[in-house]
């Protein structure tokens, strides 16, 4: 890939570190108190938190400061309407406060920080700038400020996902996973998340070995992982990073597969039947958010399958960053027909063939695609 993306990747990685620090602050407050004013319901009943708008403001502001607002086109999940409502004054105040707290620490990563704290209008403007529609031409950023908001408010897994798309192709991706264990041995936590939630709300929260940022550039053949930059600690950049690689497992009986926790927009019955047909025997790793992509990229799992229920349309911000990281780590990502995902048609993954299949290698991938074709007619999708 052209080296002109080196600066974009550098800024994106640092911006995601700052965004993750904001999420950690907000989640601590959310879990340590009855912070009802930190959560608002959207029209589709999914919770939106201070973190969603805060991350969007931070990433928008940092990208604009680094590259000029006239050069930054950003597609993001949240709009500013609910936050601008007079009834959301307290919520907006919380967003502005935490945004300024975290931007104040951006300079330790070599990023610009505001000369003076941002005001309400400046924070709203930063969020409002995230109004691009994507498409097949030009360059635009794609952000999911808190992917897996349900996981976030429950003290579980979530991710900050930022990608850059040029002429319809994802050219770089950054995935911040603040609660993702650095040690694979702790992954049994995900099978029964609610039984272990106390680990996140107890005094051991800061002692948990967790939190990382993964990133990759298209065509580099490499994907990297960094531990999260500790809050309120001065670090030297470039920060320590190590290469990550997908698993070498190609025997379905030995493979671990991931699927969404939520049943609302995925058909777990079909996925379970497909897993049995292919020979996947291990208990599924049910994980909120794009952390599923992180698990594949780092070799913690071998397969991620998602088959949406009728009427649900996949959005580009839920997949863009994860796709390029898995691919550069050596994995395979396609729709269920074996075709590449198309990020060139706006905010949705239009033309998606039935579902999404992510694998550590071609052997497992071919078996699953074959099983989809064999099983589809008898499914209840």
Question: pLDDT tens digits for 176-223?
Answer: 999 998 877 666 544 443 333 334 333 333 434 789 999 999 999 999
What pLDDT, on a 0 to 100 scale, did the predictor assign at position 204? 38
Residue whose structure tokens are 């995601």 = 16
The residues that bridge with 315 in the sheet, in sequence order, are 348
78: pLDDT strictly greater than 90: no
What pLDDT, on a 0 to 100 scale, did the predictor assign at position 123? 97
What pLDDT, on a 0 to 100 scale, did the predictor assign at position 196? 39
Averaged pLDDT score across all residues of the chain: 87
Q: Within 13 Å of residue 123, how many CA atoms lie on the same side as its CB?
A: 25
- CATH level 3 topology of 252-378: D-Maltodextrin-Binding Protein; domain 2 (3.40.190)
Between the CA of residue 222 and those of 16, 45, 242, 291, 351, what are the distances in Å? 19, 38, 10, 18, 29
356: pLDDT strictly greater than 90: yes
Which positions are annotated as active-site residues? 52, 149
154: pLDDT strictly greater than 60: yes
Task: Tell me the pLDDT band of 344, cut-offs 50, 70 and 90.
Answer: very high
Is residue 209 packed enough to be buried (19+ CB in 10 Å), middle (13-18) or exposed (0-12)? exposed
What pLDDT, on a 0 to 100 scale, did the predictor assign at position 202? 36
* Top-tier CATH class for 3-244: alpha beta
Structural tokens at position 292: 């599923």
Task: Tell me the pLDDT band of 293, cut-offs 50, 70 and 90.
Answer: very high
pTM of the model: 0.91
Task: Tell me the pLDDT band of 299, cut-offs 50, 70 and 90.
Answer: very high
Task: Tell me the pLDDT band of 378, cut-offs 50, 70 and 90.
Answer: very low
As a three-state string, the secondary structure of 155-223 is CCCCEEEEEEEECCEEEEEEEEEEEEECCHHHHHHHHCHHHHCHHHHCHHHHHCCEEEEEEEECCCCCE
**E strand residue ranges, 60-181:** 74-76, 139-147, 159-166, 169-181
Q: Which residues are annotated as a binding site?
A: 77, 144, 147, 318
Q: Which residues are annotated as a binding site for Mg(2+)?
A: 77, 144, 147, 318
What pLDDT, on a 0 to 100 scale, did the predictor assign at position 169? 97
Question: pLDDT tens digits for 15-68?
Answer: 999 999 999 999 988 887 655 667 877 766 666 889 999 999 999 999 999 999
Question: pLDDT tens digits for 305-335?
Answer: 998 877 889 999 999 999 999 999 999 999 9
Enumerate residues 6+ apart whose C-beta is below 8 A from 105: 18, 21, 113, 231, 232
Structural tokens at position 60: 């928008």
β 74-76/139-147 pair status: parallel
82: pLDDT strictly greater than 50: yes
Separation CA 378–CA 374 (nearest Å): 9
Min mean pLDDT across 29-38, 236-245, 280-289, 336-345 is at: 29-38
What pLDDT, on a 0 to 100 scale, did the predictor assign at position 36? 61
Min mean pLDDT across 68-77, 250-259, 263-272 is at: 263-272
Q: Where are the domains of the chain?
A: 3-244, 252-378
Min mean pLDDT across 93-97, 153-157, 259-263, 317-321 is at: 259-263
Share of the chain above pLDDT 70, in %: 86
């Amino acid at each position: 890939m052209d080296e002109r993306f080196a600066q974009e990747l550098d800024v994106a990685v640092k911006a995601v570190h700052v965004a993750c620090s904001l999420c950690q602050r907000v989640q601590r407050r959310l879990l340590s108190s009855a912070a009802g004013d930190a959560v608002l319901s959207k029209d589709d009943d999914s919770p939106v938190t201070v973190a969603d708008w805060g991350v969007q403001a931070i990433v928008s502001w940092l990208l604009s400061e680094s590259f000029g607002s006239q050069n930054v086109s950003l597609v993001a999940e949240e709009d500013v309407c609910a936050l601008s409502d007079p009834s959301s004054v307290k919520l907006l105040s919380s967003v502005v406060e935490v945004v300024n707290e975290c931007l104040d620490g951006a300079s330790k990563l070599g990023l610009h920080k505001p000369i003076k704290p941002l005001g309400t209008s400046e924070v709203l403007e930063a969020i409002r700038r995230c109004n691009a529609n994507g498409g097949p031409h030009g360059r635009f950023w794609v952000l999911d400020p808190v992917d897996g908001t349900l996981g976030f408010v429950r003290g579980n897994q979530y991710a900050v996902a930022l990608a850059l798309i040029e002429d319809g192709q994802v050219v770089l991706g950054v995935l911040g996973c603040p609660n993702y264990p650095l040690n694979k041995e702790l992954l049994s936590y995900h099978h029964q998340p609610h039984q272990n939630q106390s680990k996140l709300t107890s005094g051991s929260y800061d002692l948990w070995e967790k939190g990382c940022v993964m990133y990759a550039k298209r065509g580099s053949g490499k994907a990297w992982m960094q531990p999260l930059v500790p809050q309120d600690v001065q670090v030297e950049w470039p920060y320590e990073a190590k290469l990550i690689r997908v698993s070498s497992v190609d025997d379905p009986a030995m493979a671990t597969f991931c699927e969404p926790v939520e049943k609302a927009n995925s058909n777990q019955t079909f996925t379970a039947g497909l897993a049995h047909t292919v020979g996947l025997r291990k208990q599924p790793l049910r994980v909120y958010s794009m952390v599923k992509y992180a698990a594949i990229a780092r070799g913690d799992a071998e397969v991620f399958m998602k088959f949406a229920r009728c009427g649900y349309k996949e959005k580009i911000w839920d997949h863009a960053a994860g796709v390029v990281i898995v691919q550069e780590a050596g994995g395979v990502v396609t729709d269920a027909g074996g075709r590449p995902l198309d990020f060139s048609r706006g905010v949705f993954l239009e033309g998606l063939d039935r579902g999404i299949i992510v694998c550590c290698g071609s052997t497992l991938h071919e078996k699953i695609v074959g099983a989809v074709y064999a099983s589809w007619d008898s499914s209840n999708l």
